[in-house]
Structure 1
């Protein structure tokens, strides 16, 4: 009887090990969906993360948080460059140029805060990462307030849209980071 069991085990063990080795791990899509289900804006979170090809290789929430912060950082950087270019635009009024310079500086600070958040994520200092992302979100908000105060001119729609984009990206990143700690 023991030899019969041994033969059965010997015969079926390759199939058993193949089925155990190929047990499904969560697909990137299901990881994104489960992570985003705990955020304040599910649809935005899913669309944002799925738009980044790196999310296809993400295997945990920490990876997704890094992707979200990286996307926010790229947005802050491009907005700072945009505001700098607008500040140099000779057709703008001097007051508007001053407002754009202020915004360029705030978005530069936001980018620095987001780079610090990435460093904190790498070091698994999730509380600090959250604080840095929150600071970046506040820098974006400060841009609009200071633009109007310093220039006395209406805040341009293009800047308001960029501000909203960064604030939503930061909000999503903070929601994801909150799942880590």
Structure 2
């Protein structure tokens, strides 16, 4: 084999090497282009605390399959906002239908906490669009703190929705950290 290499001029070896490198590079690029969406979602979500929920949330938005990391992050923040609004509606419904005064008081606390975090996450989305990721993080963090405060009220009827909201915001915060 050494004799075969020795028979080629340096220019020929250089050309062979460059063609080989271009072929390998093209092969990697084509494979990456085919798997970018799902592969990026999975690799990003593996870095979160709740990867299964993260994957499920991101894959529920068809645009995530074409998104880069910044796009995925925005989708995660949007999912946090929509889950917050959904949770707020559930809590409000419980407030309106509560018959026990003590439970009603705890529910009102939760409703007010969630209600106060709505403008914060909306500001976080606006900040995200201006590439102000730290401010966006604070908006998602405000929702996460509202969940923790509500959960401390010990309302079993909210444990599932609080858990889902906590997990999605926690994962969104982790993904936002990847942009810093």
TM-score range, shorter chain: 0.7 to 0.9
For structure 2, the residue ranges without an aligned partner over 5 or more in a row are 1-22
For residue 77 of structure 1, report the CA deviation from its aligned partner: 0.8
Verify: 1:170 aligned to 2:169, yes or no.
Answer: yes
Equivalent residues of 2:36, 2:66 under 8 A apart: no
Give the structure 2 partner of residue 152 of structure 1. Answer: none
Return the alpha-carbon distance in structure 1 between the equivalents of residues 86 and 48 of structure 2: 25
1:4-31 deviations in Å (ceiling 9; x for gaps): xxxxxxxxxxxx9xx79x9452521011
Distance 2:92 2:46 in 1: 37
Residue of 61, 76, 101 corresponding to 1:68: 76
Structure 1 residue ranges without an equivalent (≥5) = 1-15, 149-154
8 Å contact kept, 1:110–1:140: no
| CA RMSD between the two structures | 2.2
- TM (norm. structure 2) is 0.76
Aligned residue number for residue 160 of structure 1: 159
Task: Choose which of 34, 42, 46 in structure 1 pairs with 2:55.
Answer: 46
Q: Does 1:135 align with 2:142?
A: yes
Q: How many residues align?
A: 153
Q: As a proportion of its length, which structure holds more helix?
A: 2
Residue matched to 1:13: none
Show structure 1 runs of 4+ deviating over 4 A: none
| Native 8 Å contact 1:62 1:121 kept in 2 | no
TM-score by length of 1: 0.75
Give the counterpart of 2:113 among 106, 112, 118: 106
